[in-house]
């Protein structure tokens, strides 16, 4: 894993199974993880992180296979390093997320995410949060879900999973009984209270994915603990059902109602309940 350059301390790389590298950014509260999935002939990079430190040198130190970059959605912590791969690797994203990828993001949006309260370690030398930018990138191909990505000895199915974002994607590795659940399911707080989140669509997505549980052993989420047991999908599906059926919140905040469950919580707009079911 050497050769990642001077910013390698910003990242933490693990290999939870052969050919799968989780590239985590552990010093930010989001603890976002991108995944490099390497097959016998090709590789795919699922998301490009926050863009705080150069990602491409690290990826190139891990594989020399032809690479595609697949973005689960266009939130800042998943597209930050995409521009590093523009022109050298195909860049894929759902058509509903493409406008945000093209637009990029500037410091007026990004700076607030890099205050001391968000960090548990130093930012890389040379990164200026006051002038942070994520350059816009033109995608190479637009996805809708239902596509397959052949890496040689493994095939990944692209799943359309709206809810957290309109064009959220996940990757299913049927042969290895694994789901890269991106921002659909992870341990910790699920942000279902933010603008652009469709809670009803989130419920439908989780209900659909819950049917896969008998054929899965583990989830590789985009945040926090990994891997997770596949049963998380069923638990989260039941949780969203309960919230939309009128479950009383465990905490009422000014910006969100907080519902706590075993191993995760769900933040929803205030007073979300049966009226939205």
- Class of 1-160 per CATH? alpha beta
Q: Is the pLDDT of residue 80 over 80?
A: yes
Q: How far apart are CA 152 and CA 226, in angstroms?
A: 25
pLDDT per residue as tens digits for the range 99-138: 999 999 999 999 999 999 999 999 999 899 999 999 999 9
pLDDT per residue as tens digits for the range 38-58: 999 999 999 999 999 999 999
Distance between start and end Cα atoms, the chain: 48
* Half-sphere CA count of 115, side-chain side, radius 13 A: 4
In this structure, which long-range contacts are made by residues 128-136, counting pairs with CB atoms below 8 Å and at least 24 apart in sequence?
131/107, 132/51, 132/106, 132/107, 133/104, 133/105, 133/106, 133/107, 134/51, 134/76, 134/79, 134/80, 134/82, 134/83, 134/104, 134/105, 134/110, 135/83, 135/104, 136/101, 136/102, 136/103, 136/104
φ, ψ of residue 77 to 5 degrees: the values are: -80, 5
Judge contact between 183 and 161, C-beta under 8 A: no
Question: What is the DSSP code (8-state) at residue 57?
Answer: H
Judge contact between 3 and 57, C-beta under 8 A: yes
pTM for the structure as a whole: 0.94
User: If pLDDT is split at 50, 70 and 90, which confidence band does 7 have?
Assistant: low
pLDDT per residue as tens digits for the range 157-211: 999 999 999 999 999 999 999 999 999 999 999 999 988 899 999 999 999 999 9
pLDDT score recorded for residue 276 = 45
Task: Find out whether the peptide bond into 227 is cis, omega within 30 degrees of 0.
Answer: yes
Judge contact between 156 and 44, C-beta under 8 A: yes
Q: How far apart are CA 169 and CA 21, in angstroms?
A: 19
Question: What is the DSSP code (8-state) at residue 195?
Answer: T
Tokens 């989140």, residue? 197
Q: How far apart are CA 159 and CA 186, in angstroms?
A: 17
Using CA atoms, how far residue 243 sits from 169, 240, 250, in Å, is 24, 5, 11
pLDDT above 90 as % of the chain: 92
Q: Is the pLDDT of residue 3 over 50?
A: no
Q: How far apart are CA 201 and CA 167, in angstroms?
A: 11
Residue ranges of domains in the chain: 1-160
> How many other CB atoms sit within 10 Å of the CB of residue 179?
31
As a whole number, the mean pLDDT across the chain is 94
């Amino acid at each position: 894993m050497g050769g990642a350059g001077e910013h390698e301390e910003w990242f933490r790389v693990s290999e939870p199974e052969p050919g799968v590298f989780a590239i985590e950014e552990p010093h930010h509260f989001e603890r976002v993880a991108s995944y490099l999935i390497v097959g016998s002939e090709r590789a795919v990079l699922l998301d490009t992180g926050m863009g705080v430190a150069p990602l491409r040198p690290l990826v190139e130190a891990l594989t020399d296979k032809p690479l595609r970059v697949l973005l689960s959605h266009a939130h800042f912590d998943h597209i930050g390093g995409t521009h590093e791969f523009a022109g050298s690797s195909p860049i894929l994203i759902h058509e509903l997320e493409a406008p945000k990828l093209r637009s990029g993001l500037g410091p007026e949006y990004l700076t607030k995410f890099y205050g001391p309260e968000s960090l548990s370690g130093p930012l890389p030398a040379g990164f200026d949060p006051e002038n942070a930018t994520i350059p816009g990138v033109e995608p190479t191909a637009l996805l809708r879900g239902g596509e397959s990505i052949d890496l040689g000895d493994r095939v990944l199915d692209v799943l359309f999973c709206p809810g957290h974002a309109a064009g959220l994607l996940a990757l299913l590795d049927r042969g290895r009984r694994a789901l890269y659940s991106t921002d659909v399911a992870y341990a910790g707080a699920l942000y279902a209270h933010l603008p652009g989140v469709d809670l009803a669509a989130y419920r439908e997505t989780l209900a659909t994915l819950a049917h896969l549980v008998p054929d899965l052993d583990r989830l590789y989420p985009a945040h926090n603990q990994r891997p997770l047991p596949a049963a998380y999908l069923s638990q989260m599906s039941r949780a969203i059902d309960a919230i939309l059926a009128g479950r009383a919140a465990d905490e009422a905040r000014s910006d969100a109602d907080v519902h706590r469950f075993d191993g995760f919580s769900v933040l929803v707009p205030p007073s979300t309940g049966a009226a939205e079911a």
